[in-house]
Chains A and B, each alone.
Chain A
Amino acid sequence: MTVTVLYFAWLRERIGLPRETLETNAATVADLIAELRTREDRYALAFSDLAAVRVALDQELSEFDAPLAGVREVAFFPPMTGG
Chain B
Amino acid sequence: MAVRVQAQPFDYGAECAAFANAATGAGAVVTFCGIVRDNDGSLLGMDIEHYPGMTERALADIEEQACARWSLSDALIVHRHGPLAPGEMIMMVATASRHRAGAFAAAEFLMDYLKSRAPFWKKERTAKGTSWVAARDADEEALKRW
B119 touches A80 (CB 8 A): yes
Residues of B with C-beta under 8 A to A5: none
Chain B CB within 10 Å, residue with most, of A10, A59, A78, A83: A83
B54 touches A82 (CB 8 A): no
| Interface members, chain A 51-79 (any B CB < 8 Å) | 56, 59-61, 75, 77-79
Residues of A with C-beta under 8 A to B58: 61
With A9-B132, A59-B57 already in contact, the answer to whether A80 and B118 are too (CB < 8 A) is yes
B132 touches A75 (CB 8 A): no
With A8-B49, A8-B121, A9-B123 already in contact, the answer to whether A80 and B54 are too (CB < 8 A) is no
When C-beta atoms are compared, the residue in chain B nearest to A58 turns out to be B54
Chain A CB within 10 Å, residue with most, of B58, B114, B140: B58
- Interface residue A81 (Cβ < 8 Å from any Cβ of B): yes
User: Among the listed B91, B111, B114, B135, which residue makes an inter-chain contact with A79, where contact means beta carbons less than 8 Å apart?
Assistant: B135
How many residues of chain A have a CB within 8 Å of chain B? 17
**Bound CA span A80–B59, Å:** 13
Question: How would you classify the secondary structure of chain B's contact residues: helix, strand, loop or mixed?
Answer: mixed
Measured CB to CB, the closest approach of chain B to A36, in angstroms, equals 19
- Interface residue A26 (Cβ < 8 Å from any Cβ of B): no
A83 touches B115 (CB 8 A): yes
**Binary interface encoding of chain B residues 86-101 relative to chain A, with 1 for a CB under 8 A from any of its CBs, else 0:** 0000110000000000
A78 touches B132 (CB 8 A): yes
- Interface residue A3 (Cβ < 8 Å from any Cβ of B): no
Chain B CB within 10 Å, residue with most, of A10, A12, A59, A61: A59
With A75-B54, A77-B119 already in contact, the answer to whether A83 and B111 are too (CB < 8 A) is yes
With A8-B121, A9-B49, A9-B123 already in contact, the answer to whether A81 and B115 are too (CB < 8 A) is yes
**What are 16 inter-chain pairs, A to B, with CB distance below 8 A?**
A9-B121, A10-B132, A12-B49, A60-B57, A61-B117, A75-B119, A77-B51, A78-B132, A79-B134, A79-B135, A80-B117, A81-B122, A81-B133, A82-B116, A83-B91, A83-B120
Which 6 residue pairs of A and B lie closest in terms of their CB atoms, listed nearest first? A79-B135, A82-B120, A59-B54, A9-B121, A83-B115, A82-B118
